[in-house]
Structure 1
Amino acid sequence: MACFFPEGFDTDQDIFAMKVRAMHGCAMCMFEQEKGHSVLSQKGLCKLLHVLNFLRIMMQAFQQHEHLCWQIYNGSLNIYNICRYLMTMNRSAQALEYLLWASISVELSIPLMTAKYLPWIVTLYCAVCHCYYDNQADLQAEKFARRALGKINDLAKMEDVPTTRECQRAYKESSVKLAAMIFKRAVYVARKRPKTRLKIKIQSTLKDMHNAPWPRTMTERILMGLFDSSAAQFFAISEALWDSTRKPLQTKMPSEPELQNVILELLSAGISILSGTASESPIALTPTATLMDFAITGEKKIPIMSAIRFVKLLFQYKQQDAFSELAGEMLQVLSGVEGQSFRRAEMELALLDSFKQSAVFSEEPCQKRQHD
């Protein structure tokens, strides 16, 4: 940094800001140039890692100057954008250390550790957790989420100003998101048993799940213990079932009986929330707002796009009957709303349904030949 700022950081602030803006702009131009390619080559990856290293050095140089906290914020924002792209390109292993660096840098900046920046802080925390999960480091993901939740709780205790509605919303959003990151591992670990135990009964399909009031299963008991609204529970279910390594048309269940049961319990819980059987009053599907908005307010509503994402998970986990039933219902709902995103979702559901039917028909002759 000395070559860019030979007189230090306390010189003319207009010139300083112009230089820093130019450095950030150069870094992001290189990122956009690589992002424009359909495939991230090894050469492109190396270039982006150099860009990330450059941004990290900048943040490190500004770390000791409290009045430059806004540069820490800008640097973390640019690192996050590049790392999210790397994650979509299956490069979470490379993105992890930079996201971790960005989150800790923001943590160490006292002016940024306030309720005002809480949504951004938690966004960084959750990105780190997602990287850990993508890298199959579930234990580290849960540990980091618990640590992050502790930091947020400490921050809430240190707030001197009266809690405003915006602050309450920020803290609620933070707790739901981080609790979902904890639940993503905890729900599976709670069911793992030593190999010396006897075999447990496997529930092969959702038909084996009883239609009764909550809590019917251990999974639902954990959900009710961590989350206080149907929308928050649905958010956690979607996070626990989501696997970034799966391809859209890849359908499979894990081989471990315990994990199969947990997945079926999660799917059953999601279906019961959508159908309204999980609570005394029915859930309304709405084309507006986000699932997190309803998780914060506690309203008994689920966004249509969140419901569609869940229906796609039924397809990926080979629950054909439940998928067909809910896909048909969602197609009826989609026919009554306007918007390009809803038309695309309608087409995707129809394609998945036709793919499922063709797969079933192609299996039947094979099964018949084996029987003969």
Structure 2
Amino acid sequence: MDFTPTEEQRAAGDLAAEIFGDLSTPERLAALGAATDADLWKALCAAGLPGAVAETGLLGLVLMLEEQGRTTAQVPFAASCAYGLLGVGAHGSDAQRARLLPGLRDGTEVATGAFARSGARPVTVEGAADSGRAQLVGTVPVVPWLCEATVVLVPDARRRLWLVRTDGPGVGVAPVATTAPWSAGRLTLEGAAAEPLGGPYAPGDARGRHPHRAHDDVLAVARTAFAGLQAGVCAGALARAVAHTTTREQFGRPLATHQAVQLRAAEAYMDTEAIRVTAYEAAWRRDAGLENATHALTAAWWASEAGKRVVHSGQHLHGGIGADLDHPVHRHFLWGRQLDAYLGAGAELLEELGALLTKEPQA
């Protein structure tokens, strides 16, 4: 394994860091409130960063999402790239790619995925699934960036993926308040027109026999991408905590000189590195064409379990200031908890990981 970024991946990460650092400032975020930063999204698309994912791969996307997480920038970068550019790019038909990818690159199209939590009632399909069109019925309570999305990937009970336009008949989108300002929404499908990702499911072809392959790949990509985002959120929270404890004095000396503070910060640093390296490994394996579902689950578990520890530590190390809802570190706390909720409970992820490890040979 070699996680050393290529020249293209490093350049994309550096450019992302520059744009996020310049435009996603605490003052700008405070003025936005819960709104999506439309100007920042335009700047990212004008710089070609979403489109660069085709060349930089999932590892390149993870590097860029780390930079987004450091600033908690309010744009649908992770969702649109993971579910759209990489999902449709890898599994869409020629016609679907030609129709959707240009808009996903320039930002006129925004994609997301309506993957419900474990145990939720799945979306059902009405009509012939082996046709080019079908109707979907069901509800997904929380979909990230749904209020900004133009197209949604929706899995059914058989783990087949369907493309649904958010402005289509039978599609309901209602805003949902979440911990972090993700423009999330509740997706209601009442006979909504849907198009199978990759084209009609022919009973004799590989996708017909194994309709879950695209589903599992897209889910692994999304888990890896959001884990990379969490690595950045945690790194940003820790950087703020370090800056605070090295300048704030107590009993005549900086807080950072106290052993308890040092230990808490060290534990947060190790947790952040664990999230980062597991996300890197899952992304690298996917780019290399290797089995990566178990590695994506591992990255998701670290991002969920360790991520909430880090953002709690970041807020705690700020002392009373950390309780200020307007302090920038509180934004990292909110994002860390939202990513924890979105990726799923640690016990659920471990149960799924155990099932995969006992069923599938490792590459």
TM-score (norm. length: structure 2)? 0.26
Q: Which structure has the bigger radius of gyration?
A: 1
Relative contact order: is structure 1 or structure 2 higher (C-alpha 8 Å, sep ≥ 6)? 2
More helix by percentage: 1
TM-score (norm. length: structure 1)? 0.26
